[in-house]
Structure 1
């Protein structure tokens, strides 16, 4: 700013109303903040509003009573102060899958590339519609690996929003929009290139319809407001009733001020966001099969890695909590105090202390939501069934190397293999050498010579077609002596399969070229006419390079909160696999955004499948099971799972 002398001898302000003394004070303020700034969990951006540009507004200033409503400056703009809180671990004791089961994760998972503020106005959250949107020049960088930035306080200049009687103002913050949102030059909002207006539900629907969403973490992890409950759950004897779940954050219009300083001194809201994806890690080590009659050497296995499978391709921008019928479902635990599994018992972190201006109410995490295909059979899930997994796709089974996916939840009727997300574990046996399993008998590893001998035994001694063929095509000996006899050395056996030679093999039988057909077999004798009958009698499964695959369906509440065959009345049986229904088992399987599913393979019982098993319409739990799993969930709510394969 320039400096001059006014008629009264006082320093003259420039066209922006800033004096030279103002600039000096600003520099002192900035230097003081830089010196005293905390390095780890608080990143103060209190002066960011001075750098934030806002769209010009021609709206007429609406006068309001002092302290009764928003205050707008002469240009029709106001200022609002917000604290944005990334999902982080609160200081808490262990209770209902919280406390020690909450984990900050890695620095990269807190990196913020861009921020969008969307303002809604309406009678309530359900009917409020978008009125303005702003791009916030707000970034958290990954920076020092020992420093995780989780909170930023910002002051944002906003356009005049004419107050309407009986209507409220709400805020939605989206971090790392990954291209699904765009703010226009006139403070409008675009979705997939089209101007958007409407409610949060309509915004969710339009985002879900966008194709090729991808993982929503390519350019920072997409985050948005977390639905929080005003009643706690967990291990409490008090049943949560009249629970309100709040997603949009209400802004007190009286906290919209006509100057930056006034807004900073009167924070309008705390906004808590959550990541829009789920996180998965897996830990597994080499070992030996625990329920196999194979020899000690053949029991040994090595874990080559894992991959996530049967994942969703679409998602809502903000978690959809649905009709909330689940909030009062108790855990189906067999010991301890059965808690209310869908609500947390630990208050979310609060940047502005409760009771002070702009402080948050008592709010708790929620642990369920409806995905895009919640109450319909999932379509378009990405699955690798009946295939193999290349090494480039594998993740290291070290418990630290993560993969991420969009949330995928179901109602009870659709909690089936084909609708649920899983991981595939890739193990190697037999020192990496090929072996065969015949007729699903995993007590013996067959080599190629053994399998061919068994195929010919079936052809020559078991198959009616094979026996008839031999009777019809072996020529009698004309001179005195022993009659002609078919020997297994007369035939060649070849294997073919549809998946690069791996998996179930089709056999083909042919006479060897060197066999004297003229004297021993009829001209034109063709044993391949018996192939179909032989193939129907023997199943040959090739484990190429000794590789076997194991599917592990990811448990959300799992055996901790929804133990199968637990305290329900009636035991699981055919036609009633989940007695007690949703109250006992809703959420047993599924992946929910901002939850970290940590899977531990504690043992492998027997040899798995030679290829990735396709998903089916069957329930995941079976009356007879050959797999045992343990899953843990961490601010990221981390859910850990151990599994015996």
Structure 2
């Protein structure tokens, strides 16, 4: 993947329209002529996105083109809004008309280091009256299910709902429920205007003077020639609606992804887990869990000024430092947070708002990770939350499906393989399904019979029909074991449960890891103090996924088996999550963010 230093790919679109018979000499915000009725010509430059990176202190080096298909442009819509020239157009400008840009063709542009592709097209634009300003919003690669234009009237429909003459930008920031991800990513990626800050992120006046801008002012000309002569057209920067996640850190050989278990000096519960050293973990699939079912067409940065509070907070993390060239020699900057459709507790019902997988309702696993030959990303909708809602059952994470290859003893002739094994309670010992003669290794049944006197003389057997999973009650012991052809009695099951505790059954070596909850801002930007475990504004954005950001999950180590079944995320705070995976998240641009994870 090509790394680029700059924020955007330039998609220059010269938008023109039919002539008007009426014009005044008043200049618009971008220079030009204020027209009162009919249609005119407008010229804009639409800049395609890279993605965003890990630290916003200097976002030059965190931007990345990504895959070619992720910035390809096939078709588009341009929508126009108008308002009086004073005030905030993002709040007050009302919808006028939209135009279908038709099929768009990209061309490589080598003349500008910030430009990868450029598209030029011609379209109509509405005229506005004296004292009014016209603003533009672009929707690239839309499917009709998401956004469409009625050709004869210029009516814009979002998710089937038509905008009216009183509709403002907020109509494009409404929650779109139960959306289909393939309408936003895949063969083409839907993109819309990116909100930008008027003040750089490291400015001392960021909190007091910064404003977020999404709609872009444009100039309307009477003639096509006049529009083409504009040397400083309005510049529109767009971003993808989805976020991107990649998985790395596994050794790739013979079309398999593997990692060798390593145990750190820190041993949970004081147990010696060195028995896991050297075990092989083979990745068989990975998926994103707790993903948002809804999205907003245009990124919502409502509350931007509140994020920038300097009271026990580092506001610089929300705004980039890499200048984006606008018209009239202005510079704007990227904004690195968003408000999604289920941002607060009163707008969120986890069971309805998120796709959460279980052992019985499994995802379509992505069987490939990053390797030196190809990239295999997954995409998802934006999922952000207020700082108090950083809870595990509301936070998007990475789920791994693996085969845990075990060797029960160094003396065992059988090589490490994906076999049935059991772990009892907090003891890290791996018990096979049956006794193994090499090394006198006791199987799970022998271990239970030696430990529980009440069942020592029983014809205790493993129930071969039992599924892999966690058996954590006396009733579960009746499912896992049997007495010959008979069910265990209640006292027998109670005796096993009381003496052994939870038994994890890794059937066929299948092991799942809830590898990590995805972090958006890193520890230096949102420092966490475990001795004061209450989220506050200074932790806003610590977890979450934001559109047009690329999160690379790098598995740096795995220290033992995961769980034999997919565990359901709890309502505990995100920073209480534990596991056997250690990973680093690198947020790339697109904005690319890398996160290391130890399992």
Partner-residue secondary structure (3-state), 2:221: coil
Mapped pair 1:436 → 2:421 = yes
Q: 1:183 aligns with which of 143, 149, 155?
A: 149
Deviation at 1:503, TM superposition (A): 4.4
Against the structure 1 CA distance between its residues 458 and 558, is the aligned structure 2 distance closer, same or farther, given a 3 Å change threshold? same
Give the corresponding residue for 2:478.
Answer: 507
Against the structure 1 CA distance between its residues 249 and 44, is the aligned structure 2 distance closer, same or farther, given a 3 Å change threshold? closer
Could you report, residue by residue, the CA deviation over 1:548-601 in whole angstroms, capped at 9, with x for unpaired residues?
A: 222210000022422322xxxxxx34xx4136x112x11111000011111111
Give the corresponding residue for 1:76.
Answer: 38
Q: 2:209 aligns with which of 221, 242, 249?
A: 242
Partner-residue secondary structure (3-state), 2:49: coil
Give the corresponding residue for 1:629.
Answer: 583
Against the structure 1 CA distance between its residues 229 and 105, is the aligned structure 2 distance closer, same or farther, given a 3 Å change threshold? same
**Equivalents in 2 of 1:111, 1:227: separation in Å?**
21
Deviation at 1:454, TM superposition (A): 3.6
**Equivalents in 1 of 2:217, 2:483: separation in Å?**
82
Q: 1:582 aligns with which of 533, 537, 546?
A: 537
Give the corresponding residue for 2:93.
Answer: 128
Partner-residue secondary structure (3-state), 2:504: strand
Partner-residue secondary structure (3-state), 1:201: helix
Alignment of 1:5-44 (within 5 A): none
Q: 2:241 aligns with which of 261, 267, 276?
A: 276
Give the corresponding residue for 1:402.
Answer: 377
Partner-residue secondary structure (3-state), 1:558: coil
Deviation at 1:154, TM superposition (A): 4.2
Aligned pair count reads 528
- In structure 1, list runs of 5 or more residues that go unmatched: 1-39, 467-485, 514-524, 566-571
**Equivalents in 2 of 1:321, 1:41: separation in Å?**
23
Against the structure 1 CA distance between its residues 405 and 608, is the aligned structure 2 distance closer, same or farther, given a 3 Å change threshold? same
Contact 1:228/1:363 (<8 A) preserved: yes
Deviation at 1:170, TM superposition (A): 1.1
Mapped pair 1:368 → 2:337 = yes
Could you report, residue by residue, the CA deviation over 1:101-147 in whole angstroms, capped at 9, with x for unpaired residues?
A: 11111111111121100001124320211110001135245999xx9
**Equivalents in 2 of 1:397, 1:440: separation in Å?**
35
Against the structure 1 CA distance between its residues 225 and 84, is the aligned structure 2 distance closer, same or farther, given a 3 Å change threshold? same
Against the structure 1 CA distance between its residues 151 and 240, is the aligned structure 2 distance closer, same or farther, given a 3 Å change threshold? farther
Give the corresponding residue for 1:487.
Answer: 457
Deviation at 1:327, TM superposition (A): 4.1
Q: 2:73 aligns with which of 98, 101, 112?
A: 112
TM-score under structure 1 normalisation? 0.73
Greater Cα shift, 614-623 or 434-443: 434-443
**Equivalents in 2 of 1:389, 1:368: separation in Å?**
30
Contact 1:135/1:183 (<8 A) preserved: yes
Partner-residue secondary structure (3-state), 2:445: helix
Partner-residue secondary structure (3-state), 2:576: coil
Against the structure 1 CA distance between its residues 547 and 143, is the aligned structure 2 distance closer, same or farther, given a 3 Å change threshold? farther
Contact 2:94/2:168 (<8 A) preserved: yes
Deviation at 1:163, TM superposition (A): 1.2
Contact 1:112/1:176 (<8 A) preserved: yes
**Equivalents in 2 of 1:89, 1:375: separation in Å?**
26
Mapped pair 1:544 → 2:507 = yes
Against the structure 1 CA distance between its residues 300 and 219, is the aligned structure 2 distance closer, same or farther, given a 3 Å change threshold? closer
Greater Cα shift, 386-395 or 281-290: 386-395
**Equivalents in 1 of 2:56, 2:462: separation in Å?**
63
Contact 1:270/1:360 (<8 A) preserved: no
Mapped pair 1:208 → 2:176 = yes
Greater Cα shift, 625-634 or 269-278: 625-634
Deviation at 1:215, TM superposition (A): 5.8
Mapped pair 1:196 → 2:148 = no
**Equivalents in 1 of 2:300, 2:334: separation in Å?**
14
Partner-residue secondary structure (3-state), 2:69: helix
Alignment of 1:29-428 (within 5 A): 49=16, 61-65=21-25, 70=33, 76-88=38-50, 96-123=57-84, 124-140=89-105, 149-159=116-126, 161-163=127-129, 165=131, 167-179=132-144, 180-185=146-151, 186-197=153-164, 198-205=167-174, 208-209=176-177, 211-212=179-180, 214=182, 216-234=184-202, 239-251=206-218, 255-266=219-230, 267-285=232-250, 286-291=259-264, 293-295=273-275, 299-328=279-308, 340-348=316-324, 350=325, 358-359=327-328, 361-376=330-345, 377=348, 378=350, 379-387=352-360, 392-398=365-371, 400-427=375-402, 428=404
Contact 2:396/2:545 (<8 A) preserved: yes
- In structure 2, list runs of 5 or more residues that go unmatched: 1-7, 251-258, 265-271, 407-415, 435-442
Give the corresponding residue for 2:522.
Answer: 558
Contact 1:595/1:637 (<8 A) preserved: yes
Partner-residue secondary structure (3-state), 1:262: helix
Contact 1:82/1:154 (<8 A) preserved: no
Give the corresponding residue for 1:37.
Answer: none
Contact 1:282/1:601 (<8 A) preserved: yes
**Equivalents in 2 of 1:149, 1:78: separation in Å?**
29
Deviation at 1:346, TM superposition (A): 0.9
**Equivalents in 2 of 1:315, 1:391: separation in Å?**
21
Could you report, residue by residue, the CA deviation over 1:330-389 in whole angstroms, capped at 9, with x for unpaired residues?
A: 7999xxxx77111111102x3xxx6xxx44521000011101000123432111134585
TM-score under structure 2 normalisation? 0.78
**Equivalents in 2 of 1:366, 1:101: separation in Å?**
14
Could you report, residue by residue, the CA deviation over 1:370-416 in whole angstroms, capped at 9, with x for unpaired residues?
A: 01000123432111134585785433243832111101001111100
Contact 1:84/1:153 (<8 A) preserved: no
Deviation at 1:329, TM superposition (A): 5.2
Partner-residue secondary structure (3-state), 1:426: strand
**Equivalents in 1 of 2:155, 2:570: separation in Å?**
45
Against the structure 1 CA distance between its residues 249 and 623, is the aligned structure 2 distance closer, same or farther, given a 3 Å change threshold? closer
Give the corresponding residue for 1:5.
Answer: none
Deviation at 1:214, TM superposition (A): 5.0
Against the structure 1 CA distance between its residues 623 and 556, is the aligned structure 2 distance closer, same or farther, given a 3 Å change threshold? closer
Could you report, residue by residue, the CA deviation over 1:71-104 in whole angstroms, capped at 9, with x for unpaired residues?
A: 669x9321100100001389x9x96151111111
| Structure whose alpha-carbon radius of gyration is higher | 1
Deviation at 1:66, TM superposition (A): 6.5
Give the corresponding residue for 1:478.
Answer: none
Against the structure 1 CA distance between its residues 176 and 531, is the aligned structure 2 distance closer, same or farther, given a 3 Å change threshold? farther
